[in-house]
Structure 1
Amino acid sequence: MPTLHKLTAKKVEKADPGKYSDGGGLWLFKRPDGGAQWVLRVTVHGRRREMGLGNLTEVSLREARDAADKWRAVVRDGKDPIKERERIKREAARADNTLKAVAEEAFEARKAELKGDGKAGRWFSPLEIHVLPKIGKVPVEEIDQRDIKDALAPIWHTKADTARKAMNRLSIVMRHAAAMGLDVDVQATEKAKALLGKSRHEAQNIPALPWQEVPNFYKSLSDGTVTHLALRLLILTAARSLPVRFCRLDEIDGNVWTIPAKNMKGRKGQVEDFRVPLSEEALAVIEQAKPLARDGYLFPSVRRGVISDATMSRLMERRPMDARPHGFRSSFRTWCAEATDTPEQIAEITLAHVAGSKVERAYRRTDYLEQRRVLMERWAGFVKGGTGEVLQMVRA
């Protein structure tokens, strides 16, 4: 049996440049420049292999001996210690590349495209809530269509929109993993869709108040509270809830309210500031709300920040009403179609919808502010109790 532990800590420290055996194939190589390396020499399948065990500055004599014992045992099992170490490293790397880790990295990479750098978490939440608790710890390279199917099956037919978003996010994560050089199945989500089948869930539109009933509801918002005033401005401008709730005094210049791009629906970098013409009634509502403003926000909450969308929704729910705040955009659009002769392009741009083909939008250099101003004055007149008679518009 070969002699082991020939070296001592003192000899290791004082040794001149050269090669020094500790026995059992463990060697210390000292270089003239002062550096030193531990090397294990073994014979595997009749072939000699040299395996580095680390620098002397990082690995002590005792640690080198422990490592040598470990890898000699691997040799006794008939395995190549160098290949076995590489295999262990690969498995460790795979463990680090769990679906959760890669999903978080993909989210970070996309934040610049998302509103507010994705701080609201809406992009990530479908994964965080419905996917990662089930398969987040699985290495992304092992994810297949069956894993995805099992994760999303419980909501595929009951929460179709959320399931669709989760599937879309998963597809992005898988492509991100492929870009990282990982061996993933980028078609796994499409295969999962085939396994899940067509969703039986029918999308439900947000309930809207019939346009003929809007004046009576508007009249009932008469107590001058933040919630009543916010709802009034939302109705008068046909704007979405978010820009109304986060409306700042410095966004209003005369009779124009400029909604910053960050508060508009759409991807960051793909939307622009949007000008809203303010009717005389809308300006009156703003003047009434100014004394209630705080920190520059026109519609502050009781404690801090701004009122929530739920605050306005609950007011309508308590009435009780099926309609919700976002539905007033539909009320306005239907009024345009049924009670006016408004050109479709004007009506759609008023709602900040994308109107016209890509080529048409590229050549269009106007937002039809003045045409929209006429329309919004007519809408305000109707909302305040007008007749809703047909409005003859000059086509743009």
Structure 2
Amino acid sequence: MPRPLYKLTAVAVKNAPPGKYSDGGGLWLHKREDGGAQWILRVNVHGRRREMGLGSVSEVSLKEAREAAERWRSLVRGGLDPIKERQRQRREAARNLHCLDDIARDAFESRKAELKGDGVAGRWFSPLEIHVLPRLGKVPVVDIDQTDIRDVLAPIWHSKAETARKALNRLAICLKHAAALGLSVDLQATDKARALLGKQRHKPENIPAMPWRDVPIFYASLSDGTVTHLALRLLILTGVRSAPLRFLREEQINGDVWTIPGEAMKGRRGATADFRVPLSDAALEVIEQARRHAREGFLFPSVKKGVISDATMSRLMERAGMAARPHGFRSSLRDWIAEVTEASHDVAETTLGHIIGGAVERAYRRTDFLEQRRALMVRWARHVTGQRGQVIALGKRSRNDA
């Protein structure tokens, strides 16, 4: 015979002395000596008695307790353990509460090993941190859809096209990361957002470069021996990209050759071949001066921690009223090579660390033109430091043999 339900009344619940009182159907009121009271549901699951708390009487009314008891009893009738089911629901809810900020930072941490310098420079994360997370960071990642992404990227989709593209790609990675964690996200949200945003009108512009004839004057102004001045001087003298220079370590220098690890070279991800940079006397002198600033093995440390940023060097040129930027000195060097020397295309491109030819051609060509590049960089250093830059021929007789 079924047990009668609804034995208690709201008044009885309020005035009952300490003890245990049945409302029927396994729902019990437990009043303690200390004045507290709670609801308990007793059920039998697979022949085992289970007790689960339904909350404090001060927070859960008699009506709410009866409704909750019925929900859990219905699960029992379906053969489920209500306690385990509640635990599962809580775990699911906790997973679904992961906000985009948490997912993005976790995704970044898991990919640091793939990034240059373990992502210390922040370039992988900055498109998200600057343009996405301020608006979507606190949103549960499972709730993010294509319209959210479109709305947050629309303001920069055309004006900062490359940054917007990177932010969209990083978001796609974050969504995949969330899916790998077991979250129910829309993996097509970024593709849908791209369709909503439309084709970008922005055309990439080349980084402003200083004419090679003006470089000696600027080089001479970098004379105070600070980390930033020395870094810019070595950047100019070697023609390397900013990242390898900023992360230059003492052990990478061997005599008059600087060996940059292959994985630190742009466009050589996964490569095992290192890149050798011949160092002129002027470059070696800059390195010697930089050694007094070295910290934790880095020759160009920042004031607080890590190494100086690319922005540090850019700001120096910006404050001086220049349109040119540090990366542009590679163009200055390339133009000088083309206009002043007769260096071959392969030597000129190798000087800038560019990959030349197809895979088959590279497999047969084993030289990195180190000695020819050394002569070229000596002449570049003479020009940069204010000495006369002579026309030279590399691989053939010079017009003006020095």
Output the TM-score relative to the length of structure 2.
0.72
User: How many angstroms does 1:214 deviate by?
Assistant: 1.9
C-alpha contact 1:316 1:324 (8 A) present in aligned 2? yes
Tell me: CA distance 1:121–1:219, structure 2 relative to 1, closer, same or farther (3 Å): closer
User: How many angstroms does 1:252 deviate by?
Assistant: 1.8
Structure 1: where are the runs of 5+ without partners?
Answer: 6-11, 13-20, 29-37, 42-49
C-alpha contact 1:259 1:275 (8 A) present in aligned 2? yes
Structure-1 residue corresponding to 2:341: 340
Q: 1:1-396 alignment to 2 at 5 Å?
A: 1=4, 24-26=24-26, 40=43, 50=45, 72-74=66-68, 80-81=74-75, 88-89=89-90, 92-93=93-94, 95-222=96-223, 224-260=225-261, 264-265=265-266, 269-270=270-271, 273-290=274-291, 296-299=297-300, 307-362=308-363, 364-385=365-386, 388-394=389-395
Number of aligned positions between the proteins: 363
Tell me: CA distance 1:285–1:70, structure 2 relative to 1, closer, same or farther (3 Å): same
C-alpha contact 2:293 2:299 (8 A) present in aligned 1? yes
User: How many angstroms does 1:331 deviate by?
Assistant: 0.6
Cα distance in 2 between the residues matched to 1:188 and 1:296: 43
C-alpha contact 1:251 1:258 (8 A) present in aligned 2? yes
C-alpha contact 1:115 1:267 (8 A) present in aligned 2? no
User: How many angstroms does 1:377 deviate by?
Assistant: 1.9
Q: Percent identity?
A: 59
- Given residue 204 of structure 1, which amino acid in structure 2 is its aligned partner? E
- Given residue 171 of structure 1, which amino acid in structure 2 is its aligned partner? A
Tell me: CA distance 1:291–1:153, structure 2 relative to 1, closer, same or farther (3 Å): closer
Partner SS for 2:375: helix
Cα distance in 1 between the residues matched to 2:342 and 2:383: 15
In the TM superposition, what whole-angstrom CA distance separates every residue of 1:131-170 from its partner, at most 9, and x where no partner exists? 2332334443333211210121122222222211110011
Moved more, 76-85 or 286-295: 76-85
User: How many angstroms does 1:379 deviate by?
Assistant: 1.9
Tell me: CA distance 1:26–1:269, structure 2 relative to 1, closer, same or farther (3 Å): farther
Partner SS for 2:326: coil
In the TM superposition, what whole-angstrom CA distance separates every residue of 1:79-134 from its partner, at most 9, and x where no partner exists? 94468967954861553344334333322332221233334433223223322332
C-alpha contact 1:279 1:373 (8 A) present in aligned 2? yes
In the TM superposition, what whole-angstrom CA distance separates every residue of 1:3-25 from its partner, at most 9, and x where no partner exists? 979xxxxxx9xxxxxxxx97733
Tell me: CA distance 1:349–1:99, structure 2 relative to 1, closer, same or farther (3 Å): same
Cα distance in 1 between the residues matched to 2:55 and 2:215: 84
Cα distance in 2 between the residues matched to 1:354 and 1:181: 41
Tell me: CA distance 1:104–1:226, structure 2 relative to 1, closer, same or farther (3 Å): closer
Partner SS for 1:230: helix
Cα distance in 1 between the residues matched to 2:230 and 2:91: 61
Output the TM-score relative to the length of structure 1.
0.73
Give the alignment's Cα RMSD to 1 decimal. 4.3
Cα distance in 2 between the residues matched to 1:391 and 1:52: 95
Cα distance in 1 between the residues matched to 2:135 and 2:279: 50
In the TM superposition, what whole-angstrom CA distance separates every residue of 1:33-67 from its partner, at most 9, and x where no partner exists? xxxxx8526xxxxxxxx5999967xx68998xx99
Tell me: CA distance 1:55–1:288, structure 2 relative to 1, closer, same or farther (3 Å): same
Cα distance in 2 between the residues matched to 1:220 and 1:343: 32
C-alpha contact 2:27 2:69 (8 A) present in aligned 1? no
Partner SS for 2:149: helix
Structure-1 residue corresponding to 2:34: none
Moved more, 207-216 or 383-392: 383-392
